[in-house]
Amino acid sequence: MTDAIPNRAGGGADGRDQRTGDGAGGAAGARCPVTGRLTRRPGGAARLRALLESGPTIVAPGAFDPLAARLVEEAGFPAVYMTGFGTSAALIGRPDVGLLTMTEMAANAGRIADCVDIPVIADADTGYGNPLNVIRTVGAYEAAGVAGIHIEDQVAPKKCGHMEGKLVIPAPDMAAKVRAAVEARTQPEFVIIARTDARAVEGLERALQRARMYLEAGADVLFIEALVSEAEIEAAARAFPGVPLLFNWAEGGKTPPVSLARLTELGYRIVIFPISTLLAATAAMRAVLREIATAGTPAAALAGLPTFGEFVDFIGLPQVREAEQRYVT
């Protein structure tokens, strides 16, 4: 897909370069000041809110761990999406079928938010229970430093939105969860995204009705999952003029591969590419492991890989050395 290009040039809401966080350009984070925790600046929720309210469509590729998130940032994207599918695959090597707990998901979100200077949008599954659980979930993700979360109306244990066999809870129960999430946040800018998986269970019209209920409950963004045709994608956009919508460009999923230009034209404000990095990493690791298995060493594959020096520079060794010198006694 050649038109799914991020807004590489744009600085953040405060004019800082979104790839470096300091307005100076160059490699991601190369001149970011080092703090005691080697972390980046706070305020992701406010920056995500500013992006939502103006500017181009927010393209947020998925990251399953902090390294993937840093690569997303280096590529110049304005935000990163913590994928639940990828988190499950990376943390426990298992499919996205509700096996991870809230604390495991929030912890991964926190590790990602700690190492990038762009807003993190995170998967929060079903909110992990009833409205009381949702309150705790919002608190945990806020404390983790993410900019916003999406919660969905599936029956727990949930499934990936593009798998078969999903079930949904009653719409009023989900609306109560959305209200709880909105009222629980301590940062007014923290973005609550309401996702409905009802298209696969109850049909498009009912999914749109549910989304309208969730909007009335206070959701900031609507996420209508697993639309199956371009006509449905257009219908969802027409149903909510002026409302921020999230589009899941699920690689190989049920939704057709619509161009970014078309999604922007329809008014979608956030487009996520949840598992491109996960699939690419899997392919690359398979290739180098095959080389080791057949040749005995990875020597023949090294020409296509970053050098050791390039890699340690990318993950911040120069910053660590700078801090060591600054605080040496």
| pLDDT tens string 209-255 | 999 999 999 999 999 998 999 999 999 999 999 999 999 999 988 88
pLDDT at 152 over 60: yes
Q: Which of these is catalytic: 195, 199, 210, 269?
A: 195
Q: Does residue 288 surpass a pLDDT of 80?
A: yes
Pick from 111, 110, 87, 107: nearest CA to 99? 87
Highest mean pLDDT among 22-26, 149-153, 226-230: 149-153
| Higher-pLDDT residue of 140, 25 | 140
To the query of whether residue 96 is one of the catalytic residues in this protein, the response is yes
Catalytic residue, from 17, 65, 73, 125: name it.
Answer: 125
Taking 90 as the threshold, does the pLDDT of residue 9 lie above it?
no
Q: Which of 123, 142, 153, 197 is catalytic?
A: 123
Confirm whether 197 is a catalytic residue: no
pLDDT at 254 (0 to 100): 86
Q: pLDDT value at position 4?
A: 38
Task: Provide the pLDDT for residue 12.
Answer: 38
162 is catalytic: no
125 is known as an active-site residue? yes
Q: Known catalytic residue: 141? A: no
- 73 annotated active-site: no
Predicted confidence band of residue 85 (pLDDT cuts 50, 70, 90): very high
Mean per-residue pLDDT, 173-201: 97
Active-site position among 65, 96, 189, 232: 96
Positive or negative, the Cα torsion across 7, 222, 158, 249? negative
Mean local confidence (pLDDT), 266-277: 97
pLDDT at residue 198 above 50? yes
The single residue of 47, 115, 160, 189 carrying the catalytic annotation is 160
Q: Is the pLDDT of residue 22 over 70?
A: no
- Catalytic entry in 47, 49, 150, 269: 150
Structure confidence at residue 40 (pLDDT): 67
Close Cβ partners of 72 (under 8 Å, ≥ 6 residues apart) = 60, 61, 63, 80, 116, 118, 277
CA dihedral 59, 94, 163, 262 (to 10 degrees): 10
Q: What is this structure's pTM?
A: 0.87
pLDDT exceeds cutoff 50 at 119 = yes
What percent of the chain shows pLDDT beyond 90? 76
User: Which entry of 225, 232, 268, 269 is annotated as an active-site residue?
Assistant: 225
Mean pLDDT of 162-185: 94
Mean pLDDT of the chain: 88
pLDDT > 50? residue 328: yes
Q: Give 64 or 253, the one with higher predicted confidence.
A: 64
Rounded CA gap, 296 and 308, in Å? 20
pLDDT tops 90 at residue 19: no
195 included as an active-site residue: yes
pLDDT of 43 strictly over 50? yes
